[in-house]
Structure 1
Amino acid sequence: MSTTVNASVDVDVPVHRAYDQWTQFEEFPKFMESVRHVEQLDDVRTRWDTEIGGVKRTFEATITEQIPDSLIRWESSGEKVHSGQVTFAAGPVGTRVDLTMTWEPETFLERVGATLSIDERAAERDLKRFKEFIEERGSATGAWRGTVDGESTPPDEGSTPPERRAAPPAGESYNDLA
């Protein structure tokens, strides 16, 4: 029996800023309690190291659909398959971020967590930390503005201003990288 978690948060930043920050997967350990490390493998694949209830797991996830300022959808591969999506929409103040994740609990502890809605509360806490992270920063740590619809379409470099791209290495400027 699969488990689905839904969580939402309103963040007091524009949609593009909330979305841009969410595309910086390697920053997730700063606001997601169970995420230890994320490595961006290419435009659509990431490798995740997590620890939940003392159980460590590593898995790869593939972005299956991505629409700038609107949606990111993914599914994992490996022994523990899960899928999910996050959507971004302008709200009365800032941006509404809605997260949905679905997976199959395997261990006794995972089944208990799902039954008692512990997973949903953890997702709500993670989104609250995301809110604090992006609101305190005032700007995203980077951005990826491409689209994904089964395959990656990279952004046009000219359409992504330097202040919205990932920061260059220390001591270098964007002009040094051209």
Structure 2
Amino acid sequence: MPQIIETVDVSVPVSVAYNQWTQFEEFPKFLDEVESIQQVTDTLTEWKVSVAGVERTFEANITEQHPDERVAWNSTGGEVDHAGVVTFHKLADTETRVTVQLDWEPKGLLEKLGSAVGVGGHAVKKDLKNFKEYIESTEHPDGAWRGEVQA
């Protein structure tokens, strides 16, 4: 499975960055490939994405969540096979490092070719840049879920 690791520093407190990341239904505002996400339960989400013009749906299960530290997930069915973790590191009172690690299995010729030339990493880097622009421009998260999920 290819692995992608990307990092961005955002000029907001760690709690603001973390709180925004827990608002999965708002991801289409800054993740280009995400069409929609529905929060089914505290730990289950349903995703609809468009990758290279191909729509895919899947469920993702939150496997671990610790406020202001990390959110981990894996896909549980559907057309996308992936797992990941996002971590939040306080650099200063109003500066946070956000790191995404994503393991995914490309499907079809186009995705496999894209994976071979690093398209996935570029997409994650762009999405993190979009997240930075979004959260720094609003300065307030769209909401927050501060519950714990133990691995």
Same fold (TM over 0.5): yes
Match of 1:100?
101
- Pick 1 or 2: higher relative contact order, CA cutoff 8 A, min separation 6: 2
For residue 106 of structure 1, report the CA deviation from its aligned partner: 1.9
Does 2:91 match 1:120?
Answer: no
Offset of residue 9 of structure 1: 0.3
Supply the RMSD in Å over aligned alpha carbons.
1.0
Q: Which residue of 1 aligns with 2:30?
A: 31
**Residue 85 (structure 1) aligned with residue 85 (structure 2):** yes
Greater displacement, 21-30 / 108-117: 108-117
Residue matched to 1:111 = 112
In structure 2, how many angstroms separate the alpha carbons of the residues matched to 1:128 and 1:96? 12
- Whichever structure has more strand as a proportion of its residues is 2
- For residues 60-85 of structure 1, give each alpha carbon's deviation from its aligned partner in whole angstroms, at most 9, with x where no partner exists: 00000000000000000114321000
Q: Which amino acid aligns with 1:55?
A: V
TM-score, normalised via structure 1 length: 0.81
Aligned-residue identity in percent: 46
Q: How many pairs does the alignment contain?
A: 149
1:19 aligns with 2:27: no
**Paired residue secondary structure (2:141):** coil
1:130 counterpart SS class: helix
Match of 2:129, SS state, is helix
Range with bigger deviation, 49-58 or 102-111: 102-111
TM-score by length of 2: 0.96
Q: Partners of 1:141 and 1:82 in 2: how far apart?
A: 26
1:1-178 aligned at under 5 Å gives the runs 2-79=1-78, 80-92=80-92, 94-150=95-151
